[in-house]
Amino acid sequence: MANTTLEKNNFKENIIKEFKKFENHLNSSSLVALHDLRKDALKHFDTLGFPDRKDEEWKYTNTDLITKHDFHQDFSINTTSLYAKEIKKFFIPELDANIAVLVNGKYSDDLSNIKDDSNKIYISSFKEVRKKHSDIFNTHFAKYADYKTNSFTALNTAFACDSIFIYVPDGNKIKDPVIILNISDTKKPNTLLQPRNLIISGKDSSVTLIDLNYTVGNNHSLNNTVTEIFADKNSELNLYKIQSEGDKSFHIGTTQVHQEEYSKFNSATISWGGSITRNNLNSLLNGEGCECNFDGAFVLSGNQHVDNHTLVDHAVPNCQSNEFYKGILGDNSVGVFNGKIIVRKDAQKTNAYQSNKNILLTKTAAMNSKPQLEIFADDVRCSHGATTGQLNEDELFYLRTRGIDKKEARITLLFAFASEIIQKIKVEPLKNILFDMLHNKLKKGS
């Protein structure tokens, strides 16, 4: 016990020390305001430290297993450690898309492929965008993801550098999705990457984002991502996040959404890669008539651990939110679903729905499902349900009596179970690769 605390402190102290090194690498043209923010975030990180399991928010996910490693971030700028041919395999066939590539959290001009130059959408690194849209950047950056109480967000904010800024001006409806290819290059041991993304969809705009997380190399890595999303009035934003990192990858992903009136946010969070994954997905419904849909699926094997942590904050009346998560847990894997819904005092006529269904394939797999409803208004419709069980024997037998062997029957049923989530994704080529990936994962794992 004492030992892990010491190790944790080591990583913490080391990374704080590295801040100087980081400052030296930063371009001198770096905005003063941004840098003050970083320094403030670092102070908060120092005070907060990493969470332990006494922290209610981290009860089921042991960060000791992550922070016992001493991770290092590579601050050198303008270098890309990967070749185009190494990442080609991560592209989605038959999909017209703008592709923004991040390697270890850094935007890569060379690897990215932004076709859309119609000024209907701006996709670039922080550095570039600050030149053209510094007002928008400053209005929104670090305004939604709270670094004062969340230590991983504090750490990310302290080292926020050159990730992706996406801005869709008012009224623009973007047909082709934007792929954010978030690659951990772990050829060097203990790589720390801290992507920091800011996405703004203007009034009456719409855009679809595909957040793909992959690993190159076989060493340990920690991907501590923060993505802030501002959905302005009447905009529609789809975010599909795929966690497909390697066996030695740790992933702490925080997506903080801020929704204004009549905006619609649809998301699917699909996790089947990584060693320990924490998907924080939070939305503040800040204007009336908002709709917020969180879907998620996770398919785990070996010793994988996935923690889906969601928060829907109904701050105003007449909004609706739906959450639908499904998990398949094999071997010794562990899943967590922690779904918090806050309905504030004024948020009358709120409709909030939450469901989590899980299948355990072994006696040694475990699922912790915890709905948290904090309702302060009286005229609301709120429902939640969680079930965890085994594969249905009668269904299995039915398939087998039609000549389908046991293994194939299991895969068929599990595939059907998880595909309900994938089915809702609106991008066909993405759906197709996800179906393939799901099938492969099930074939290997069950």
Partner 1 sequence: MLTIKNLKANIENKEILKGINLQVNAGETYAIMGPNGSGKSTLASVLAGKEGYEVTSGEVIYEGENLLDLSPEDRARKGIFLAFQYPVEIPGVSITNFMKTSINEIRKYNGQEPMNAVDFLKLLKDKAALVELDTKMTKRFVNVGFSGGEKKRNEIFQLAMLDPKLSILDETDSGLDIDALKIVADGVNKLRNKSNAFIVITHYQRLLNYIVPDFVHVLHDGKIVRSGGKDLALHLEEYGYDWVKEENKKAVTS
**Contacting positions for partner 1 (CB under 8 A):** 392-395, 397-406, 408-409, 412-413, 415-417, 419-420
CA 192/CA 210 separation, integer angstroms? 22
Residue corresponding to tokens 């510094």: 134
Report, in Å, the least distance between residue 416 CB and partner 1: 3
Report, in Å, the least distance between residue 388 CB and partner 1: 17
Q: Which is nearer to partner 1, 257 or 328 (CB)?
A: 328
Q: Which is nearer to partner 1, 93 or 403 (CB)?
A: 403
> String of b and e for 343-364 (b: at least 16 CB within 10 Å)?
bbeebeebbbbbbbbbbbbeee
Report, in Å, the least distance between residue 420 CB and partner 1: 6
Report, in Å, the least distance between residue 410 CB and partner 1: 12
Q: Which two tokens stand for residue 390?
A: 């085994």
Report, in Å, the least distance between residue 293 CB and partner 1: 19
**What angle (nearest 5°) sits at the alpha carbon of residue 324, between those of residues 214 and 432?**
45
Q: Which two tokens stand for residue 371?
A: 């709905």
Q: Which is nearer to partner 1, 10 or 412 (CB)?
A: 412
Q: Among 141, 150, 190, which Cα is nearest to 7's?
A: 190
| Inter-residue contact 215 to 251 (CB < 8 Å) | no
Report, in Å, the least distance between residue 361 CB and partner 1: 17
The one-letter amino acid code at 150 reads N
Q: Which is nearer to partner 1, 171 or 389 (CB)?
A: 389
Q: Which is nearer to partner 1, 6 or 416 (CB)?
A: 416
Q: Which is nearer to partner 1, 160 or 438 (CB)?
A: 438
Q: Among 70, 75, 54, 74, which Cα is nearest to 13's?
A: 70
Q: Which is nearer to partner 1, 378 or 393 (CB)?
A: 393
Q: Which two tokens stand for residue 251?
A: 């992933």
Neighbouring residues of 131: CB distance < 8 A, sequence distance ≥ 6: none
Report, in Å, the least distance between residue 121 CB and partner 1: 35
Report, in Å, the least distance between residue 209 CB and partner 1: 27
| Measured CA distances, 382 to 255, 257, 291, 342 (Å) | 23, 21, 14, 10
| Inter-residue contact 321 to 283 (CB < 8 Å) | yes
> String of b and e for 49-64 (b: at least 16 CB within 10 Å)?
ebbeeeeebbbbbbbe
**Plot region of 94 (φ>0 → left; ψ -120 to 50 → alpha; else → beta):** left
- 3-state SS assignment for residue 99: strand
Report, in Å, the least distance between residue 93 CB and partner 1: 22
Q: Which is nearer to partner 1, 252 or 413 (CB)?
A: 413
- 3-state SS assignment for residue 394: helix
Report, in Å, the least distance between residue 269 CB and partner 1: 19
Q: Which is nearer to partner 1, 133 or 400 (CB)?
A: 400
- Residue 322 phi/psi, 5-degree rounding, is -135, 135
Q: Which is nearer to partner 1, 216 or 413 (CB)?
A: 413
- Residue 264 phi/psi, 5-degree rounding, is -130, 125
CA 36/CA 45 separation, integer angstroms? 14
